[in-house]
């Protein structure tokens, strides 16, 4: 495959994409809280959405568009209110947002996707949204700064914006993919994450775009968890406008695999960022399982560890409490012999063996504490049952998580 | 069935049972940390144990005894160290504890059950345990105070001891059941809870005793969660010495059902206590699901709500954030229409309708905050899909939970 390189920017890195972020006072005051992603060239679209049976109105709207619209051109996003638990009034709001964006941008309302994130159960202030949409349409630009504005506007309790872009050669053409996403609570995606948007100028059929995305999330967004709560709003959209000019990818083959690699670079970067910026998090907590009998078992084991509240609290306390990790592997549902598992703590500089042959190893607590004080802590689990592996990403559990969520609505 | 009445005491309430709690300095200093339950009359025994594939040595030991020993007479318990992740040395320790107790009490070692709770991965101080066992044998008594000593000695991060006793008439005889248990972290039983012990003078066959216990835990200990972590040590034992003199219960029928009712009184009391005294908890958080299509779906829905970190944090903040409750029902795995669900908050004095017809109801936030400030908060969920119901018990998620678990080992 072509050489994959990271480039500046996010959703406006790929040819033909514009973006904007503006203040609309949907709920937050004095900060950008609405974002637009736009392409004058019609885009193929693929999406994955929350598996929660309680779906926010924008999820219902987008699922219909992704399934049936011939093309899309815009995504309108707001933070502050989730438009979930809002009944028919919530669906009406989506329609009005799409109609307003269609008018402001000169495109059909069926080419407009919408997404919302924030508190559940509040009705949306439709007029402020419409005002915001008109501002977005006026402000939109293909600059990297405009992409950054959008990435900032979709944040809720996130502490940093999250975006990335990569370039790769496909069929002799330079293809760019860019993405942005937001966390950071109610994160336990079971189809995709809260809100993530990827744009690309790749020329790819709708069918292959959806195939690439659906295959990808299993090892990217579905491998992260902040708090085990699968949101009502999880939405991941990929828009492809074809402007790179490569021959259309219509089946599996080298071009498709190159595209998948590039997409995976984007999604795992965003997923890791989201985990590390989980509500109240002081560290990214990564669990890598190797030597598993099957890929699926590796995934289950890795996720069980990063989801364990006790393990997460121990990571926050820089406490090498490997018993909790072993315990979380044990209740994952995967059958194994604890006597034949090895556990290691590692960071970028060192690795220590903490458990093997059924008992704790003779490691230096001081070394362990050093590793556990890194901003990125990794537990390596060797199951010695086969050759499959998987990695999951979470974060520690801190006082701040409790504080944020004890008074989120106020 | 006979009238069920609560009586004083715990594991020594039933005829012929003795108990003790002593200081053995297993890990804790200056507090009782070893307990004994003993019956001079041989007992039938039934047990349920953790489903975690990583099982503590005492669980492995007890499972063998429960499966094969003709009778048992003693249970030796220590707090401070869990004897889990301790390999063959851990199993040796169980054997030595049983041998020592057998000698001190004049009973076969195969009549001795053992249980441990505390930190995982540390080896046990065998000599201190043996010293403790000799003290226990010398101190044992049938008094209610001795039962209380035992209930206190098994505590770890529990803030209160937990015991109860009930009496009921079976076959013209007064039958007593008493129990004690300890929580309070790593509580998400998936067979039973951390450690719980029930004694009874009922005359019941081993087969029916196990049947009663296995059926009971599904709606008692398996319906609680503190933090979603299923421990390596979960153990629930019932010892029946037959001294009440009722005709032996050998099959289903009125006597068996009376016994089951009494057992359920004990187990739900202990399970609720354990949930309400979860690590760092400021409130018992109960979720009652009614109108479900099946009993199993009612259980799944109720447990999903009490396990939601976000909902637990909202309860801690006395925040009527019903969106998180709806969200937790939605990702439980049960399929339903969110438009046809009703949610209520209630405490002992009032009930308010917070969600229905797909939208939030017009309730008083002030009233809601009052209910959420109660020491026992109940969410009532009406699914309108059938007639089945279930109740689950958890607790709120507080700063204190994080503090306790960030430095548990230190």
Show residues of chain B in contact with A190, CB under 8 Å: 331
Supply the pLDDT for residue B51: 82
Catalytic residues of B: 193
Location of structure tokens 């009663």: B212
Q: Quickly list DSSP for A277-316.
A: T-TT-SSEEEEEEEEESSHHHHHHHHHHHHH-HHHHHHHH
Cis bond before residue B184 (omega within 30° of 0): yes
Which residue among the candidates A117, A156, A157, A193 is catalytic per the annotation?
Answer: A193
How far is it, in rounded angstroms, from Cα A222 to Cα A300? 11
Residue A274: pLDDT band with limits 50, 70, 90: confident
Show residues of chain A in contact with B156, CB under 8 Å: none
How far is it, in rounded angstroms, from Cα A164 to Cα B260? 61
Residue A252: pLDDT band with limits 50, 70, 90: very high
Whether B319 and A409 lie within 8 Å, measured CB to CB: yes
A193 as an active site residue: the answer is yes
A37 in helix, strand or coil?
strand
pLDDT digits (tens, 9 = 90+) for A323-336: 889 989 998 989 99
How far is it, in rounded angstroms, from Cα A261 to Cα A168? 9
pLDDT digits (tens, 9 = 90+) for A196-219: 999 999 999 999 999 999 999 989
Location of structure tokens 């004990």: B266
How far is it, in rounded angstroms, from Cα B299 to Cα B306? 11
CB B219 within 8 A of CB B390: yes
Residue B297: pLDDT band with limits 50, 70, 90: very high
pLDDT digits (tens, 9 = 90+) for A275-313: 888 778 889 999 999 999 999 999 999 999 998 888 898
Residue A212: its H or E element:
helix A206-217
Show residues of chain B in contact with A397, CB under 8 Å: 402, 405
How far is it, in rounded angstroms, from Cα A170 to Cα A248? 10
The alpha carbons of chain B give a radius of gyration, in whole angstroms, of 22
Supply the pLDDT for residue B410: 42
Whether B359 and A89 lie within 8 Å, measured CB to CB: yes
Task: Write the CB contacts of A29 (distance below 8 Å, at least 6 apart in sequence).
Answer: none
Residue of B nearest to A310 (CA): B405
Strand A284-292: give its sheet, edge to edge. Answer: A359-360, A351-356, A342-346, A376-382, A284-292, A388-395
Q: What average pLDDT does the segment A73-77 reach?
A: 98
Mutate to test the interface with A, among B188, B194, B318, B324 (most CBs of A within 10 A): B324
Phi, then psi, of B361 in degrees rounded to 5: -90, 165
Say which range, A327-336, B92-101, B273-282, B367-376, has the weakest mean pLDDT.
B273-282
- E strands present in B361-409: 376-382, 388-395
Task: Quote the tokens at residue A31.
Answer: 């900060």
Between the CA of residue B178 and those of A20, B12, B26, B160, B256, what are the distances in Å? 67, 7, 26, 17, 17
Quick check: B194 pLDDT over 80? no
User: When comparing pLDDT for B89 and A223, which is higher?
Assistant: B89
Show residues of chain B in contact with A404, CB under 8 Å: 313
Nearest Cα to Cα of residue B209 among B162, B175, B183: B175
Quick check: B384 pLDDT over 70? yes
Whether B407 and A329 lie within 8 Å, measured CB to CB: no
Whether B310 and A85 lie within 8 Å, measured CB to CB: no
**Residues A114, A120, A123, A125: what is their CA dihedral angle, to the nearest 10 degrees?**
-60
Between the CA of residue A257 and those of A143, A206, A252, what are the distances in Å? 29, 16, 7
Residue A111: its H or E element:
none
Quick check: A190 pLDDT over 80? no
Mutate to test the interface with A, among B116, B314, B327 (most CBs of A within 10 A): B327
* Facing B336 at nearest CB: one of A53, A329, A331: A53
Query: Angle at the Cα of A122 (from A117 to A125), degrees rounded to 5?
Result: 85
Question: What distance in Å separates residue B288's CA from the closest CA in chain A?
Answer: 19
ipTM of the modeled complex:
0.78
Whether B313 and A405 lie within 8 Å, measured CB to CB: yes
Supply the pLDDT for residue A192: 34
Supply the pLDDT for residue A210: 96
Show residues of chain A in contact with B404, CB under 8 Å: 313
Task: Write the CB contacts of B160 (distance below 8 Å, at least 6 apart in sequence).
Answer: B273, B277
pLDDT digits (tens, 9 = 90+) for A110-147: 999 999 998 888 999 999 999 999 999 999 999 999 99
What percentage of chain B has pLDDT greater than the value 90?
72
Quick check: A191 pLDDT over 50? no
The alpha carbons of chain A give a radius of gyration, in whole angstroms, of 22
Supply the pLDDT for residue B391: 95
Quick check: B377 pLDDT over 80? yes
The alpha carbon of residue B68 and the mean position of all alpha carbons in its chain are separated, in whole angstroms, by: 24
Residue A50: pLDDT band with limits 50, 70, 90: confident
Q: What is the pTM of this model?
A: 0.82
* Mean pLDDT value across chain A: 91
Whether B309 and A228 lie within 8 Å, measured CB to CB: yes
Supply the pLDDT for residue A277: 84
User: When comparing pLDDT for B226 and A260, which is higher?
Assistant: A260
Chain A, chain B: beta-carbon pairs less than 8 Å apart: 222
Q: What average pLDDT does the segment A185-193 reach?
A: 50
- Biggest CA–CA distance in chain B, Å, is 68
Cis bond before residue A379 (omega within 30° of 0): no
Residue B111: pLDDT band with limits 50, 70, 90: very high
Whether A87 and B358 lie within 8 Å, measured CB to CB: yes
Question: What distance in Å separates residue B46's CA from the closest CA in chain A?
Answer: 23
Residue B120: pLDDT band with limits 50, 70, 90: confident
pLDDT digits (tens, 9 = 90+) for B67-91: 999 999 999 999 999 999 899 999 9
Q: What average pLDDT does the segment B234-255 reach?
A: 95
pLDDT digits (tens, 9 = 90+) for B140-182: 999 999 999 999 999 988 888 999 999 999 999 999 999 999 9
Whether B121 and A185 lie within 8 Å, measured CB to CB: no
How far is it, in rounded angstroms, from Cα B194 to Cα A205? 54
**DSSP bridge partners of A163:** A180
Nearest Cα to Cα of residue B298 among B384, B356, B193: B384
How far is it, in rounded angstroms, from Cα A12 to Cα A16? 8
């Amino acid at each position: 495959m072509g050489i994959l390189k990271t480039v500046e920017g996010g959703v406006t890195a790929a040819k033909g994409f514009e973006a904007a972020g503006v203040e609309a006072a949907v709920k937050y005051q004095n900060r950008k809280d609405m974002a637009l992603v736009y392409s004058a060239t019609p885009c193929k679209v693929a999406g994955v959405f929350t598996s929660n049976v309680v779906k926010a109105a924008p999820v219902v709207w987008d699922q219909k568009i992704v399934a049936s619209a011939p093309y899309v051109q815009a995504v309108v996003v707001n933070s502050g209110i989730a438009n979930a638990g809002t009944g028919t009034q919530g669906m009406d709001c989506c329609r009005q947002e799409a109609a307003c964006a269609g008018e402001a941008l000169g495109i059909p309302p069926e080419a407009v996707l919408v997404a919302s994130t924030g508190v559940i159960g509040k009705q949306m202030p439709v007029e402020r949204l419409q005002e915001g949409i008109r501002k977005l349409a006026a402000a939109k630009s293909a600059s990297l700064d405009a992409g950054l504005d959008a990435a900032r506007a979709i944040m809720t309790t996130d502490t940093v914006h999250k975006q990335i872009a990569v370039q790769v050669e496909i069929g002799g053409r330079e293809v760019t993919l860019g993405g942005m996403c937001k966390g950071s609570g109610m994160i336990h995606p079971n189809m995709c994450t809260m809100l993530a948007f990827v744009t690309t100028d790749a020329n790819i059929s709708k069918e292959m775009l959806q195939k690439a995305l659906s295959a990808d999330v299993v090892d990217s967004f579905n491998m992260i968890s902040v708090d085990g709560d699968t949101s009502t709003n999880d939405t991941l959209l990929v828009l492809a406008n074809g402007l790179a000019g490569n021959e259309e990818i219509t089946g599996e083959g080298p071009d498709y695999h190159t595209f998948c690699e590039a997409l995976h670079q984007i999604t795992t970067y965003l997923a890791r960022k989201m985990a590390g910026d989980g509500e109240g998090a002081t560290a990214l907590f990564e669990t890598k399982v190797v030597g598993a009998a099957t890929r699926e078992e590796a995934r289950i084991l890795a996720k069980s560890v990063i989801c364990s509240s006790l393990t997460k609290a121990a990571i926050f306390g820089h406490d090498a409490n490997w018993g909790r990790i072993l315990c979380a592997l044990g209740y994952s549902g995967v059958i194994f012999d604890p006597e034949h598992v090895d556990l290691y703590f590692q960071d970028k500089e060192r690795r220590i063996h903490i458990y093997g042959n059924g008992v704790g190893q003779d490691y230096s607590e001081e070394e362990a504490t050093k590793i556990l004080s890194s901003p990125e802590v990794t537990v390596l689990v060797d199951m010695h049952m086969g050759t499959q592996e998987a990695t999951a990403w979470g974060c520690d559990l801190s006082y701040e998580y409790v504080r944020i969520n004890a008074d989120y609505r106020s």
